């Protein structure tokens, strides 16, 4: 998958540095505050707006390249892969499964054994908005479980108290899949850490497999496990509308 270069829009200086792969947005703000960043030969100000396509931006005297157009990627994350930049233990990470891009970050985590739809982008502001609790982006998971799923569905619809608060799925249903196993579909908006697994445990269900099939308006579809693809123009617009609170 290749990115197509395009004229970069005007943006805050810390975002331009992050998009160019210099540092995270927080670290970029620290670079600016320390006076290590210049725009057209003048020391940059915190919050300053720049245009990476026309302004000359340097960090410690080294010119940075203008960032490419915003990258959005959908990955079908396999089980046994970490949602992190790197792992000291040498385990595989999601970044090994997608083309490299400066400033690429994930939009919310999937835990080590959870599979399915994971979005990655170079738009850090959108990533933050899409995972912020106030945005309330709905995610759908399909869990293969063992236990009394019909009773669990009844309880889940009433809501369940977890250690970190009350959880009530937006939608939940169960279908038998044979061998005393059930396929449990859960749509949820809270976004707490390992929420679906902890919910199932509280309901007395053993989770054998967990796959995220939807994130907001986007569906995983037939994307093969371990494969990634760029989002379509329509998908990008849908996500950006949700991130801005207009979707």
- Per domain, the residue ranges of the chain are 11-63, 72-134+218-243, 139-215
Say if 11-63 and 72-134+218-243 have the same CATH topology. no
- The predicted pLDDT at position 7 comes to 47
- The predicted pLDDT at position 126 comes to 86
- The predicted pLDDT at position 28 comes to 87
For the domain covering 139-215, report its CATH number: 3.30.2350.10
Query: How much is the pTM?
Result: 0.79
Q: Are 79 and 144 in contact (CB under 8 A)?
A: no
Look at the domain 72-134+218-243 and name its fold.
Alpha-Beta Plaits (3.30.70)
Q: Are 215 and 137 in contact (CB under 8 A)?
A: yes
- The predicted pLDDT at position 240 comes to 87
- The predicted pLDDT at position 3 comes to 39
Give CA–CA dist 97/93, Å, rounded. 8
- The predicted pLDDT at position 67 comes to 62
144: β partners: 183, 209
CA nearest 110: which of 79, 137, 144, 87?
A: 79
Task: Quick: pLDDT tens for 80-124.
Answer: 999 998 899 999 999 999 998 877 899 989 999 999 999 999 888
For the domain covering 11-63, report its CATH number: 3.10.290.10
- The predicted pLDDT at position 176 comes to 97
Q: Are 137 and 130 in contact (CB under 8 A)?
A: yes
**Which stretches in the chain have pLDDT values below 70?**
1-9, 66-68, 246-247
**125 catalytic, yes or no?**
no
Q: Which of 111, 163, 164, 179 is catalytic?
A: 111
Q: Are 77 and 110 in contact (CB under 8 A)?
A: yes
């Amino acid at each position: 998958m290749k990115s197509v270069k395009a004229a970069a829009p005007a943006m805050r200086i810390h975002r331009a540095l992050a998009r160019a792969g210099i540092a995270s947005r927080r670290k970029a703000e620290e670079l600016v505050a320390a006076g290590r960043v210049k725009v057209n030969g003048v020391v940059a100000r915190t919050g300053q707006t720049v245009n990476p396509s026309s302004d000359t931006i340097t960090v410690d005297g080294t010119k940075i390249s203008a960032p490419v157009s915003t990258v959005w990627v959908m990955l079908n994350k396999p089980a046994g892969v970490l949602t992190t930049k790197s792992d000291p233990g040498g385990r595989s990470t999601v970044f090994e499964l997608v083309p490299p891009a400066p400033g690429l970050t994930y939009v919310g985590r999937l835990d080590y054994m959870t599979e399915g739809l994971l979005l990655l982008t170079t738009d850090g502001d959108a990533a933050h908005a899409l995972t912020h609790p106030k945005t309330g982006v709905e995610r759908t998971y399909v869990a293969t479980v063992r236990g009394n799923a019909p009773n669990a569905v009844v309880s889940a619809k009433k809501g369940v108290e977890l250690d970190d608060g009350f959880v009530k799925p937006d939608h939940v249903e169960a279908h038998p899949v044979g061998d005393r196993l059930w396929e449990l579909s859960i749509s949820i908006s809270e976004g707490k850490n390992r929420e679906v697994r902890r919910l199932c445990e509280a309901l007395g269900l053993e989770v054998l497999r967990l796959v995220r099939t939807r994130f907001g308006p986007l569906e995983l579809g037939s994307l093969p496990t371990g494969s990634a693809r760029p989002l379509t123009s329509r998908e990008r617009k849908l996500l950006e509308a949700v991130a801005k609170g207009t979707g």
